[in-house]
Chains A and B, each alone.
Chain A
Amino acid sequence: MQIIDCDIHQPNPTHEEWLEFLDEPYRTEVARYGPRRVNSGLRFEEGGSRWDLQEPINGIRPSEPAFYSTQLFDRYGIQAGLLSGNNGLVAGIPDPDYVEALARALNDYYLERWIPADPRFNLSLRVAQQDPAEAVREIDRLGDHPRVVSVSVFVTANRIAFGERFYWPLYEAAQRHNLPLHFHPSTTAVIANAASTAAGMATTYLESHVCLPQFYMAQVASMVLNGVFEKFPRLRVGLIEGGISWLPHLLWRMDSEFRGLRQQVPFLKRMPSEYVRSNVRLATQPLEEPDNPKYLGQIFDMVGGDDIVMYASDFPHWDFDEPDRIGRALPGADLDKIMHGNAAEFFNLGDDLTKRTTLHAQDVA
């Protein structure tokens, strides 16, 4: 079976590796003081990655592209994967000029040093999401690269909810380049935004991690109910690391409340749940683990999981899911669609999964 992995965390480059890609004056600043950091005050366990992947294997270091080729792609028979990286260098940093420079440098670095190393690698673009005009320039600069297949957006309780018009230029550019948005939680960014849970600040990483779906519930409601998918009907959004079990409640509540309060959002031409089913996709990892495994299958059926769920490993993070786990957890699911079909369509990958087939939205209109 073909497999596409929607969430792979290649490491941040060391200073020596990527400073040459960074524009001044930030090159001098980072060389002298290191990159700027926001800190959530939440502690991962031992860095947040698998403990069995900390040392070189067969002489290949964990920081090398070949490590990912061998320990993930070769080992599990994965045909294509998305390098979504780590968000700590850019997420939540308030200064848009600095973030734009770092995002540009990281994009150039990965496109030059990682993407050519393995035809199975694809890149999610970093952009300065806190300044959509800058984000548009970066999407326009690299958005037609055949191995750039998505735009990363980091999600917490953001300062401005994602349905608001503030972000619409970014969405227009993503749609125009036929690039989906890759929504990923950002634990490191929460301190710079509003809160690390819907209730307020989490005191532990455990509490923060458990509450990640709350952001997705709120951001999806914001996007749907502000008409983002009515305005940008070909915009696709992938929700990574949020699981799936929270979705039925949101869909049912949106549809039910919409019937009584529709006059507040008269620009919606379809039921709210229909926009989610047509424009939003969910990644598997970390798949929920109910006491009775059958319950997961029931929820999967409620949301039409065969059509909207995509496999993700989260390699090499500590809560990694092997591809085989999906079939065991969801024995009745359409694995062809979940393991590669839905992702191939989402990322617009051709039959051989090596590059995007169409680069512009008008090509598929």
Chain B
Amino acid sequence: MPKTWREACRVDDLTEDVPHIVAFDALEIGLIKHRGTIYALRNRCTHAGAPLCKGRIVTPIVSDGPGQRPRFDHDAPPAISCPWHHWRFDLATGRSLAPVPKPTVRTYETKIDDGWVYLCL
């Protein structure tokens, strides 16, 4: 089926790092504004079906190795942490932050036009 751009919300509706959920019939999608980029992903965790976009936007934590103090990786894409079991997914790709990247959450392309956010569905 050919993809189409659908009007989702006003840019002004979005608050930095706070998911904004829009619905297209039964399909719910969370829009997240972070440092000038708008990410979009399905509001359903692939683990247990939780409303993923009710979760929190988090900065990934990394370490240089065992015995080294963990630190934030501010250069990495942000992640969303599921409200139920706290599985974390990369906002840009929908991939799990665990070393086994599956299951992946569906993500969507976005664009801004005349103050509106559009989703490619």
Point out residues on A near B: beta carbons under 8 Å.
165, 168, 226-228, 230-231, 258-264, 266-271, 274
- Say yes or no: B65 contacts A227, CB within 8 Å: yes
Judge if B85 is at the interface, Cβ distance under 8 Å: yes
A268 to B68 CA separation, bound complex (whole angstroms): 12
- Say yes or no: A260 contacts B99, CB within 8 Å: no
- Say yes or no: A230 contacts B66, CB within 8 Å: yes
Most buried by B among A230, A259, A267: A259
- Say yes or no: B86 contacts A266, CB within 8 Å: no
**Secondary structure class of chain B's binding surface, majority of residues:** loop
Please name 16 further chain A to chain B contacts, defined as beta carbons within 8 Å, in addition to the given A262-B98, A263-B58, sorted by A numbering. A165-B67, A227-B66, A230-B66, A231-B65, A231-B66, A259-B85, A259-B87, A259-B96, A260-B82, A260-B85, A262-B97, A263-B88, A264-B70, A266-B60, A267-B66, A271-B99
Given contacts A259-B87, A261-B86, contact A268 B62 (CB under 8 A): no
Q: How far is the CB of B58 from chain A (nearest CB, A)?
A: 8
- Say yes or no: B86 contacts A260, CB within 8 Å: yes
Interface size on B, residues (CB 8 A): 22
- Say yes or no: B97 contacts A230, CB within 8 Å: no
- Say yes or no: B70 contacts A266, CB within 8 Å: yes
**Secondary structure class of chain A's binding surface, majority of residues:** helix
A270 to B98 CA separation, bound complex (whole angstroms): 8
Enumerate B68-107 residues with CB–CB distance to A below 8 Å: 68, 70, 82, 85-88, 96-100
- Say yes or no: B61 contacts A231, CB within 8 Å: no
A274: nearest chain-B partner, CB-CB = B99
Given contacts A260-B85, A260-B86, A261-B86, contact A269 B99 (CB under 8 A): yes
